[in-house]
Structure 1
Amino acid sequence: MVGIYKFTNVIDGKSYIGKSKNITRRYNHHKRLAGGEADGFNLYVDSVMREVGFHNFEFMVLEECHPEELDEKEKYYIKKFNTLIPNGYNISFGGRGGRFQSIKSFEEIKEIQRLLSDTVLSEAEIGRKFGVTDVTISYINVGKIWKNENVSYPIRTLSLNRIITPVHCERCGKAIHKRNKFHLCQSCYSKKKGEHIPPKELLFEELMGSSFEAVGRKYGVTGNAVKKWCEKYGLPNHAYEYRKLRDLRDKH
């Protein structure tokens, strides 16, 4: 039987969505892994099954389909039942070739463990390298999935995962958000806006040839700030008004 299946933990209600070209064989493989009777690449759900017991999982076939439909069907049901960790036991959004894929080999796990141990890459950055979520990397870091008895956990301390490079205002030195595109605190930004307001005639002339955003970039402010200058001067403060004025000018 080809299709999509679901395991649900009756203890915590969390589920796992899987796909297979032979669901019966896949079911039996999960059962053997949970009982420690088979070797192989253990998924997160298999480690949970081993911990709480295979008998505490309910199984159902969600849909039979053609083999070429498996990837899209898997992604659909993972989203439908919200089974991505931490809400469920799926570690990826499913399918193949998408942005997020499952880790494909034990070698990749060892490389992730090495990056956690030997680099300062964030969990999100490591996850992007392997097409998985930062939550997956976090679970590997603490040994919650794919635990290696020869590795000491956590591989990386929490403080290393939270390394933050401080960013400061270019004028006063006050700490600011790292995504602040003007590199100024609110107070200094407000002062800068007042310092660089061009004369009314110049502002009008520039807006007749450029957008609010382009003029704003010239003076180091946002397009909305330029619109406020227009309100202050009594100038048009909508793009369509300048388009009409340009059309009238060009006709003459």
Structure 2
Amino acid sequence: MIGIYKITSPGGRIYIGQSVNIDNRISSYKNLKCKNQTKLYRSLLKYTFENHNFEIIEQCNIEILNERERYWQDFYNSSSKKGLNCRLTKSNDKVGLLSNETKIKIGQGNKGKKVSLESRGKMSIAKLKMTEETKAKLRNKKLTQEHKQKLSLLKKGKKIKEETRLKLLQNNGKSKKVICTETLRIYNSANQCAIENNIKHKTLCNQLSGISKNKTTFKYV
């Protein structure tokens, strides 16, 4: 069964999720295979799945799963303190958002961390490699028409590498959806999947494309 489900904890906290196979999803929760959904995982660990109320609130086509999941997340305010969603799902008309609780925890985790000399060096090198156009954009300054013409002349005659051309072609196309084979969660793009699961975008794309060995539970739909 494909659709949207609602999990309510003994304390009344709500989680809204989606699945293309709800029976498999229930099995995953019973076996606590949801560590990346930290708030829900802690609740299941504390009370067990059997003490949570599981409801299928809507059946729908796979194409609108994200849209409908986001609708019910907003309806129940499931990313609030009284909810169990760590973030709101990104849909066609709404961006994905972290819950305030998750933002606070990330902020607390980063407090006191010092940037190593190696990292500072890399950032400095990266800054040196920026084009003047990029630097100006970062400084929110507009380039003069004369400067734009100079940059255009500098770019003329440069050949685009085949690898770069392929990447540009790929980026111009529609983003491929990604599915987690363990939880059957579908992401609109590899970028969304990487952000929500704290994986480097380039690393994930290489694994999904077969450039490097796929050590994740994700694959293109």
Larger radius of gyration: 1
Higher relative contact order by CA 8 Å / sep ≥ 6: 1 or 2? 2
Please indicate, yes or no, whether the TM-score normalized by the shorter chain is above 0.5: no
TM-score range, shorter chain: 0.3 to 0.5
More strand by share: 2
The TM-score with structure 2 as length reference comes to: 0.44
The TM-score with structure 1 as length reference comes to: 0.39
